[in-house]
């Protein structure tokens, strides 16, 4: 009998403890916010198709090495908008090849729109 009582006490306290439960407070850490779009992705799609797609591919994968691969090389879109816009504006030479400067070809707004389309479609 005593043994049963003890078991019961143990059970009840276990239940009580469970009920008080440690509500898991969400820690203040939030998912790192995606980069804000610097322009209009809808206008940017047209810019991309006309000026960027030949090298970057309609699928963003870099058209067999002609342009940076935004899908498989996550380091690209991990960069800030400022950094990427500078690469687009001034051109960029790197491990994949050379991207010609777009200044003089496109307005700053068109470059921002194109980058917005890239971000909206492939992330970062
Ligand atoms: C003639 C081919 C070509 C064209 C046209 C082109 N790119 Fe690129 N782009 C490249 C290459 C090559 C790279 C990678 C350079 C390297 O190896 O770092 C690149 C890299 C980039 C990057 C990543 C830059 C970085 O800092 O890592 C972005 C963003 C980009 N291009 C956007 C654009 C946009 C937007 C357009 C159209 C307005 C465009 N590109 C047109 C070839 C091109």
Q: For 43-101, how does the pLDDT look when each residue is reduced to its tens digit (9 = 90+)?
A: 999 999 999 999 999 999 999 999 999 999 999 999 999 999 999 999 999 999 999 99
5 within 8 A of 13, measured Cβ to Cβ: no
Of 39, 62, 67, the residue with max ligand 1 atoms within 8 A of its CB, to mutate for a pocket test, comes to: 67
Q: Which of 111, 104, 96 is nearest to 52 (CA)?
A: 111
Does residue 77 have its Cβ closer than 6 Å to ligand 1?
Answer: no
* Other CB atoms within 10 A of residue 59 CB: 13
The mean pLDDT value of the chain amounts to 83
Does residue 45 have its Cβ closer than 6 Å to ligand 1?
Answer: no
If you compute the radius of gyration of the chain from its CA atoms, what whole number of angstroms results?
Answer: 27
Rounded distance from Cα 93 to ligand 1 centre (Å): 9
| Cβ-proximal residues to 119 (8 Å cutoff; 6+ apart), any chain | 34, 35, 37, 41, 77
Does residue 65 have its Cβ closer than 6 Å to ligand 1?
Answer: no
Closest residue by Cα to atom 2, ligand 1, is 55
Rounded Cα gap, residues 121 and 106, in angstroms: 21
């Amino acid at each position: 009998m005593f043994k049963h009582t003890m078991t019961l006490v143990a059970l009840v306290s276990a239940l009580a403890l469970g009920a008080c439960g440690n509500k898991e407070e969400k820690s203040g850490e939030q998912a790192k916010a995606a980069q804000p779009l610097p322009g209009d992705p809808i206008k940017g799609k047209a810019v991309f198709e006309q000026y960027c797609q030949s090298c970057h591919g309609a699928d963003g994968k870099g058209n067999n090495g002609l342009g940076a691969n935004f899908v498989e090389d996550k380091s690209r879109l991990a960069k800030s908008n400022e950094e990427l816009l500078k690469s687009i504006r001034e051109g960029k030479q790197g491990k994949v090849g050379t991207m010609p400067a777009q200044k003089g070809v496109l307005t700053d707004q068109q470059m921002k729109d194109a980058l917005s389309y890239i971000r909206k479609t492939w992330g970062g």
